[in-house]
Amino acid sequence: MSQTTHAGTHEHHDDHDHGPPKGIKRWLFTTNHKDIGTMYLVFALIMLFVGGAMSLVIRAELFQPGMQFVHPDFFNQMTTMHALIMVFGMIMPAFVGFANWMIPMMIGAPDMALPRLNNWSFWILPFASLLLLSTLFMPGGAPASGWTMYPPLVLQTGDAFPFLIFSVHLLGMSSILGAINIIVTIMNMRAPGMTLLKMPMFCWTWLITAYLLIAVMPVLAGGVTMLLTDQYFGTSFFQIAGGGDPVLFQHIFWFFGHPEVYIIILPAFGIISQILPTFSRKPLFGYESMVYAVAAIAFLSFIVWAHHMFTVGMPLAGQLFFMMSTMLIAIPTGVKIFNWTATMWRGSISFETPMLFSVAFLFLFTIGGFSGLMLAIVPADFQYHDSYFVVAHFHYVLVPGALFGAIAGAYYWLPKWTGHMYDETLGKVHFWLSAIFVNITFFPQHFVGLAGMPRRIPDYATQFADFNMISSIGAFGFGFSQLLFVYVIIKCVKGGQKATDQVWDNPEGLEWTVPSPAPYHTFDTAPVVK
Amino acid sequence: MPSRIAKLLHRLFVVLPLAGIAAAQAEAPRWQVNMPVGVTPISRETYELHMLILWVCVVIGVIVFGAMTYALVKFRHSKGAVPARWSHSTTAEVIWTVIPTIIVVWMAYVATPLLIKIEDTRGAELTVKITGYQWMWEYEYIGHDVRFFSVLAEESNAARRLRSGIDPFTVENYLLDVDEPLVVPTNTKIRYLLTSNDVLHAWWVPDFAVKRDAIPGRINEGWFLVEEPGTYRGQCAELCGKDHGFMPIVVVAVPPEQFTAWLDERRDVQYAGREEQAPRLGAVN
């Protein structure tokens, strides 16, 4: 294709056009999708360590029974902030970063449709996150009521309360703006011939994710605003003294919260769907059914929210409905797992680092899926609910699920971004350390949960001591292994073996037709897709 | 000194007889990896249902992981595997859509009767009202004029302080012991009414397979029927603030005759030193 011809030397790859401004101004005022994508990804990586450090405070305290390091209230602040940072500050921005970098290159567009909005949606993030983090230093400490912010407990938050609400508003605003941008880009800027059903799966998963974001982030914003008015303006949405009901908040929160789960995992599905075909040297199996499966998951995500609340005392009919609808999600999710397996079947598989992380994703996400299926069965859920079994379940889908998806994507596209191959040996070491430690961390949590350990407790009965110690060892191992990831990235940015345009063995997608590193502006002239 | 008399009576009639039962119960085993079978008909059925789903997942897992592993071993680039070009098979896709559908519908079908049973609180012989507080439980025997608070036992409370210097392993039933347990009769359908005085709590006893939220302004209900005498321990299961981890639940199940006697004594303790007399059991009912 034509745009491959202007590659020239890499030092002057954008000499046909204005280059990026130098210094800080480049990053503050940029409207370039690649710069913004980079900022999202770097920001997410920093927040991974901020949120990770908090989880290590948690695991250090839980290393053995008794209170050794922190007060219970600070422990609760850590569990709350860890979740908020990881969800809103780390994993969501990471995938928006991937979307920024890759979607225009995948659909043959020169940039995102709304570049100034793009700049704004990124720059809201650091300020919103700093606002949230600043609550750690406020009288009364950071929010300690869990990321679910259930009233009445959340109304006992100290000075941090309005800052919590405002930062959730800002983070939600950033997500909505990013989502609008992605939808407009995909709908309007596809290259000629790039019909919707020719788009790479990553674009499809993000298109659907973006709609989910627009649908549910305002619901969360509404919910937390009601908390704010309950606290300061005399309303009684959730206060029983005024005729309100705290359960209402749970319905609102999980109407946002369950689609949010898929907002986090669907882009990872997309990345995995890009990587598995490349390293199996075989096209994605059942492309169309994969698209329909994602759409089905997105639809079902709106009608399952109350499975987070089986113990609040719902009518029998309600429990039966939410049990059934929740289990239905297993069907499209199963279709995805089976299609990925079929993609590898009779392929020609090689195990570069992105593939290793994707294969681990397949196995470990499926384990999270199984425990999810178990949690859907209401009578059994009465035992599992709010125990460490749930903690194990959602960490299996979020860490070796969503996070491994993001890491796999980072390794997959790093050569395209930097123009250098990453250190394959170190990448593999990083993989094996991560894959082993993530299981040491989270698998024993199934056991203590089933044995009766509640979640969100700073100290526990001595019978849970052994598995908690193992889990903590795994957590520290996993945490420190990620420093290796940072080292591999820095090394790759600084130099290394030059990457070819294709990088991998005949991968599919327009991003592999442009030079490595991708020029500052790509597809000034739209490619033609057959 | 009424309070001292009350304490003495409490010791004689409440703590000592129950201590014998409590001591007979060994502490929960370490390295426990599975859900307890429990001591109620519901908990046993829940355990069976849990094992059933677990095995269904294991079987599916063996098939799926087996296929993945086979593909990873067999179709390797390094072994010169040549990739096939197909990327679609309607038959396969129909099969792996229909079979999971049948499995999930069947699982819902299996779970439903148990759920109906759990929700059926009719025919209870005793009603206990449980109220959650930050951070303790209050138990009230409805119609029997007995109510008391149940808080974390002193020994655990001392050991759980930050850097207390007390080794939790030296504390019996660390964090799972209270000053005064809920006492219930065995082989009796007991209905509980659950509410809260401040924030959300959840009352969870794994051996009964009972977990339900205590919500201010609402009254939840449920039931359990303990078949074996003994001491059963649980914890608050809904984040309720800084001492969420320190409001355990202890239930002592005793034979019905012993329970009636205990209830009378406990009422006397409650009324000790007061002007009015403790009503007798028969008079109330």
Q: What is the pLDDT of residue A440?
A: 98
Query: Does B145 lie in the same domain as B101?
Result: no
Distance from CA of A456 to the nearest CA of B (A): 7
Q: How many domains, in total, are found in chain B?
A: 2
B173 shares contact with chain A (CB less than 8 Å): yes
Residue B68 is part of which domain span? Answer: 41-119
- Distance separating alpha carbons of residues B234 and A492, to the nearest angstrom: 52
Residue A274 — very low, low, confident or very high, per pLDDT cuts 50/70/90?
A: very high
Residue B12, domain member (yes or no): no
Query: Does B171 lie in the same domain as B113?
Result: no
B88 shares contact with chain A (CB less than 8 Å): yes
Distance from CA of B250 to the nearest CA of A (A): 13
B85 shares contact with chain A (CB less than 8 Å): yes
Does A3 have pLDDT greater than 50?
no
Residue B10, domain member (yes or no): no
Least confident range from A3-12, A311-320, A409-418, B261-270: namely: A3-12
Using one digit for the tens of pLDDT, what is the confidence trace for B209-240?
999 999 999 999 999 999 999 999 999 999 99
- Is the CB of A313 less than 8 angstroms away from the CB of B160? no
Q: Does the annotation mark A169 as catalytic?
A: no
∠ CA A359-A363-A367, rounded to 5°: 155
- Is the CB of B75 less than 8 angstroms away from the CB of A283? no
- Distance separating alpha carbons of residues B110 and A320, to the nearest angstrom: 12
Instruction: Look at residues B93, B119, B145 and tell me which one is the last residue of a structural domain.
Output: B119
Q: Does the annotation mark A251 as catalytic?
A: no
∠ CA A136-A139-A143, rounded to 5°: 50
Least confident range from A384-398, B252-266, B267-281: namely: B267-281
Closest residue by Cα to residue B269 from B9, B89, B73, B22: B9
Residue B1, domain member (yes or no): no
Residue B229, domain member (yes or no): yes
Six-digit token pair at A314?
A: 């719902």
The set of residues, in sequence order, having a beta carbon less than 8 Å from that of B126 and lying 6+ positions away, is B141, B184, B185, B188, B189, B190, B191
Indicate which CATH number applies to the domain containing B63. Answer: 1.10.287.90
ipTM of the complex as predicted: 0.92
Indicate which CATH number applies to the domain containing B248. Answer: 2.60.40.420
As a whole number, mean pLDDT of residues A369-376 equals 96
Residues of chain B with Cβ-Cβ distance to A68 below 8 Å are 162-163
Query: Does B148 lie in the same domain as B273?
Result: yes
User: What is the share, in percent, of chain A residues with pLDDT greater than 70?
Assistant: 96
Query: Does B280 lie in the same domain as B142?
Result: yes
Residue A99 near residue A267 (C-beta atoms within 8 A):
yes
Does A10 have pLDDT greater than 60?
no
Query: Does B184 lie in the same domain as B144?
Result: yes
Instruction: Look at residues B119, B140, B168 and tell me which one is the last residue of a structural domain.
Output: B119
As a whole number, mean pLDDT of residues A360-370 equals 97
pTM for the predicted model, two decimal places:
0.93
Using one digit for the tens of pLDDT, what is the confidence trace for B33-81?
999 999 999 999 999 999 999 999 999 999 999 999 999 999 999 999 9
B174 shares contact with chain A (CB less than 8 Å): yes
Distance from CA of A50 to the nearest CA of B (A): 23
Residues of chain B with Cβ-Cβ distance to A329 below 8 Å are none
Residue B256, domain member (yes or no): yes
Instruction: Look at residues B119, B148, B171 and tell me which one is the last residue of a structural domain.
Output: B119
Distance from CA of A366 to the nearest CA of B (A): 8
Using one digit for the tens of pLDDT, what is the confidence trace for B5-40?
666 556 555 555 555 555 445 567 889 999 999 999
Using one digit for the tens of pLDDT, what is the confidence trace for A130-178?
999 999 999 999 999 999 999 999 999 999 999 999 999 999 999 999 9
- Edge-to-edge, what's the strand order for the sheet holding B249-254? B182-185, B249-254, B230-236, B201-205, B210-214
Does A261 have pLDDT greater than 60?
yes
- Where does A35-513 sit in CATH, by number? 1.20.210.10
Q: Which of A79, A209, A301, A333 is catalytic?
A: A333
As a whole number, mean pLDDT of residues A304-333 equals 96
Q: What is the pLDDT of residue A11?
A: 46
B236 shares contact with chain A (CB less than 8 Å): yes
Q: Does the annotation mark A25 as catalytic?
A: no
Residue A282 near residue A321 (C-beta atoms within 8 A):
no
Q: Does the annotation mark A147 as catalytic?
A: yes
Q: Does the annotation mark A393 as catalytic?
A: no
Residue B16, domain member (yes or no): no
Residues of chain B with Cβ-Cβ distance to A153 below 8 Å are 199-200, 239-241
Residues of chain A with Cβ-Cβ distance to B115 below 8 Å are 316, 319-320, 323, 378-379
Six-digit token pair at B3?
A: 């309070």
Q: Does the annotation mark A455 as catalytic?
A: yes
Query: Does B198 lie in the same domain as B161?
Result: yes
Residue B164, domain member (yes or no): yes
Residue B27, domain member (yes or no): no
Q: How far apart are the first and last CA of chain A?
A: 11
Query: Does B159 lie in the same domain as B45?
Result: no
Residue A366 near residue B94 (C-beta atoms within 8 A):
no
Query: Does B196 lie in the same domain as B159?
Result: yes
Query: Does B97 lie in the same domain as B139?
Result: no
